[in-house]
Chains A and B, each alone.
Chain A
Amino acid sequence: MKKSHLFTLVTTLALAGAALAQDTIPLPAVLPKPNFIGTPSDAPAGANVEKPLGRPRPIPQVPKGTVNLALHKKVTASKAPYEGSLDLITDGVKDAKQGSAVEMYPKLQWVQIDLEAASELSYVLVWHFHEQPVVFRDVIVQVSNDPKFVEGVTTLYNNDADNSAGLGIGKDREYFETSEGRLIAANKVKARYVRLYSRGSTYTDPLNRYTEVEVYGLPSK
């Protein structure tokens, strides 16, 4: 047996053991079909794109009872969409096909999901647009209990290295969009609103796009 296989087996067994002991389950996210195979090796100019993993992302454990709290929840945005409806972001459809992504105007834009109650969050999973391996700029994900995001804001992810969005320098790396989406740890923060920023992408036009956003956590009691 190869060393790497042995390592995977041991890790899986350890995680399974831990899951049984701590009453956890694998993250119940269902990934869409990939639209392309592999990722480009050339990073787009000026980007700080991380190296693609080259293998499926490991599935993290989450507390038992964790669900997608964002499904069919209300979405608002910095501006009305250019094309499509904001409902597409939480409609549960995440395949890379015509009409599955809402198109937002260029420059810095945000979308915001109201989870309807403050909940303990495990992960945010976002697919901007995975028809092609594009890189979205200034991806910032924040949570708060304030719908205006003035008070009590927690930043979960920020890859705005040059602070062009004005929300602080982000040390997270840019990444190629794939069918796996971007999985962002929420570290059990309790919040009602999730806001996601972006500033266009390396695609052929400067629009912002969202195919789906899932927010995993424990429903509030």
Chain B
Amino acid sequence: MRRFASAGLALFLLGLALLLRLPQLGNRPFHADEAVHAVKFRELWEHGRYRYDPNEFHGPTIYYAALPTVAASGHKTFVALQEADLRLVIALVGAALVPLFLLLRKPLGTSAVLWAGLFAALSPALVFYSRYFIQEVFLVVFTLVFLASVTLKKPIAAGIAAGLMVATKETAVLTFFAAGVAWLLVSRKRPTLGRSFWLALGVAITVACVALYGCYRPLPTEARPNPLQYFQAYTPWLHRAAGEELHKNPWFDYLERFFWHRREGVPLWSESLILLLGIFGALKPPTTAERPFVRFLALFTLFLTVGYSLIPYKTPWCALNFLMPLTLLAGVGVAGLIERAAKLPAKALITGLILLASAHLGWLSYQTSFVHFASNKNPYVFSPTVPDVVKLKTRIEDLAKVHPDHEKLVIKVLSKDGYYWPLPWYLRRFENIGYWTQLPADPDAPLVLASPEFDEALTPKLKDHIMTGFFALRPDASYELFVKMNLWEPYLKQRGPVEDEE
């Protein structure tokens, strides 16, 4: 295929990817994890500081990457920022994955990577999690660049990509392990660690250290972390890998979730097209593809799939790590199919059928990200924040307008556990807000937001309050809003009479 034609097609696919990733980025409330990352981003944005915490939160690459896109939004304060402002950088990088597939045109063939680009542009999983302010898409893109750089024998680029993977998410170690074992199995020669390897390793360590520990406004000496503490991160993550109640899922969870998910009242979700074509690609690649690399890619995908499936701790976005290489294999599969078709009409028929099936993938993506984005029946949705949280935010903001201290009024949030996120994001404009996971000695405040578990103990202590209603954060987590009567009365007066619902 001529170079300008493939560039044109890649641009078209990029446009398609952006079309599904950019619109209505704020249509879904922030997931708890997104809110945590937003608050971590705030520290970097407002104070130029970042401190790696091995216990939680992963690495900072998305925070640094969000700096220019947030600057472009024109907002000057954290309160003014909206969900879409932070998700924008993920959407752009998620779309960039599609043209970046061209980096592998040499070992896989241009046709294969363009088909893979089409699948990546339309895949519901890759679209949905490209609209999520979390690290996974970054890890996947850096993985692609790493694999391409190693294949193209570019040690510095490989080192940079590997360093960024490490600085993005601790699970990069699974990718390195899968890639290493696959490479060992495919390699015919006895593996040696040459100069290129050590160069790449040096660059990777430097990049990771700079990203993790070198924020542009240095931390006070006493607050500077020990770089070796990165390895401490694996202690809590290994513990979690065994599976907490919330994240514990059977081994086949990813397979069921992404390849055959049937629930009443919603479409049958399935990315089986990519799976089947991927398997075909692994077994019957076209002659234009380098067999060893296809074998490597197949083993790499298999190991990651098995690895992530065997770990009881599961969050659905982790599947992107094996869905991305699977998408590449699917592209290889289509190229192989078309090559095997003897005559032009057969080639045209295969092309037409796959385009039709791809359109269905696109339709599923639309359903996932724009129609059923908050539904528990959507397999891509995980512990979603429900739109009720926006009502709660509005209610509290309206109450604050009536209170003499306005946004400085005291709010106490009493939660039965630490899963009160994303409240700190939605209530970010309030300076005097505190969070407790046990009943404080003095729970009194103009506004008290409490888990129902505290109701019995709290009600007698809040004699001057009225419980005004339940507000849900997630389908399984609600909070009761207690308002002091001397605030509730003027609020109701200012709000005016409520219209009867028919």
A46 close to B (CB within 8 Å) = yes
Q: What 0/1 readout, one digit per residue, does chain A (12-50) give for beta carbons within 8 Å of chain B?
A: 000000000000000000000000000000111111111
Beta-carbon contacts under 8 Å, B475-502 to A: 478, 480, 485, 488-489, 492, 495, 497-498, 500-502
Beta-carbon contacts under 8 Å, B422-450 to A: none
Cβ A169 vs Cβ B388 within 8 A: no
A97 close to B (CB within 8 Å) = no
For A50, what are the chain B residues with a Cβ–Cβ distance below 8 Å? Answer: 455
**Which residue from chain B places its CB closest to the CB of A49 in the assembled complex?**
B470
A152 close to B (CB within 8 Å) = no
**Which residue from chain A places its CB closest to the CB of B493 in the assembled complex?**
A163
A60 close to B (CB within 8 Å) = no
B456 close to A (CB within 8 Å) = yes
CA distance A161 to B465 in the complex (A): 11
B402 close to A (CB within 8 Å) = no
Beta-carbon contacts under 8 Å, A153-174 to B: 161-164, 166, 169, 171, 173
For A48, what are the chain B residues with a Cβ–Cβ distance below 8 Å? Answer: 466-470, 480
A74 close to B (CB within 8 Å) = no
Beta-carbon contacts under 8 Å, B104-129 to A: none
Looking at chain B's contact residues, is the secondary structure mostly helix, strand, loop, or mixed?
Answer: mixed
CA distance A80 to B1 in the complex (A): 81
Measured CB to CB, the closest approach of chain A to B485, in angstroms, equals 7
Measured CB to CB, the closest approach of chain A to B458, in angstroms, equals 11
CA distance A49 to B485 in the complex (A): 18
Cβ B502 vs Cβ A206 within 8 A: yes
Looking at chain A's contact residues, is the secondary structure mostly helix, strand, loop, or mixed?
Answer: loop
Cβ B452 vs Cβ A51 within 8 A: yes
Cβ A173 vs Cβ B470 within 8 A: no
Q: What 0/1 readout, one digit per residue, does chain B (116-144) give for beta carbons within 8 Å of chain A?
A: 00000000000000000000000000000
Cβ A161 vs Cβ B498 within 8 A: no
**Which residue from chain B places its CB closest to the CB of A206 in the assembled complex?**
B502
Cβ B489 vs Cβ A161 within 8 A: no
Partner of A163, one of B469, B470, B492, B500: B492
**Which residue from chain A places its CB closest to the CB of B495 in the assembled complex?**
A162
Measured CB to CB, the closest approach of chain B to A174, in angstroms, equals 9
Given the interface contacts A46-B469, A47-B469, does A162 sit within 8 Å of B500 by beta carbon? no
Most buried by B among A45, A49, A106, A173: A45
Measured CB to CB, the closest approach of chain B to A176, in angstroms, equals 13
Beta-carbon contacts under 8 Å, B135-163 to A: none
Partner of B466, one of A42, A47, A169, A206: A169
Cβ B455 vs Cβ A106 within 8 A: no
Beta-carbon contacts under 8 Å, B197-220 to A: none
Q: What 0/1 readout, one digit per residue, does chain B (176-208) give for beta carbons within 8 Å of chain A?
A: 000000000000000000000000000000000
Partner of A106, one of B478, B488, B500: B500
CA distance A48 to B480 in the complex (A): 8
Chain A interface bracket (under 10, 10 to 19, 20 to 34, 35 or more): 20 to 34
B472 close to A (CB within 8 Å) = yes
A107 close to B (CB within 8 Å) = yes
Beta-carbon contacts under 8 Å, A98-140 to B: 106-108
A199 close to B (CB within 8 Å) = yes
Most buried by B among A42, A47, A162, A199: A162
Cβ A199 vs Cβ B489 within 8 A: no
For B456, what are the chain A residues with a Cβ–Cβ distance below 8 Å? Answer: 51
Given the interface contacts A48-B469, A48-B480, does A169 sit within 8 Å of B501 by beta carbon? no
For B502, what are the chain A residues with a Cβ–Cβ distance below 8 Å? Answer: 106, 206
For A51, what are the chain B residues with a Cβ–Cβ distance below 8 Å? Answer: 452, 455-456
For A161, what are the chain B residues with a Cβ–Cβ distance below 8 Å? Answer: 466-469, 488
For B469, what are the chain A residues with a Cβ–Cβ distance below 8 Å? Answer: 46-48, 161
For A171, what are the chain B residues with a Cβ–Cβ distance below 8 Å? Answer: 466, 485
**Which residue from chain B places its CB closest to the CB of A170 in the assembled complex?**
B466
Cβ B470 vs Cβ A199 within 8 A: no
24 residue pairs bridging A and B, Cβ less than 8 Å apart:
A42-B478, A44-B470, A45-B388, A45-B470, A47-B469, A47-B470, A48-B467, A48-B468, A48-B470, A50-B455, A107-B500, A161-B466, A161-B467, A161-B488, A162-B492, A162-B498, A164-B498, A164-B500, A166-B497, A169-B485, A169-B488, A169-B489, A169-B492, A206-B501
Known: A162-B495, A173-B467. 12 other contacts (CB 8 A): A46-B470, A48-B467, A48-B469, A106-B502, A161-B488, A162-B498, A163-B492, A164-B497, A164-B500, A169-B466, A171-B466, A206-B501
Closest 5 CB pairs of A and B: A43-B470, A164-B498, A107-B500, A48-B467, A48-B469
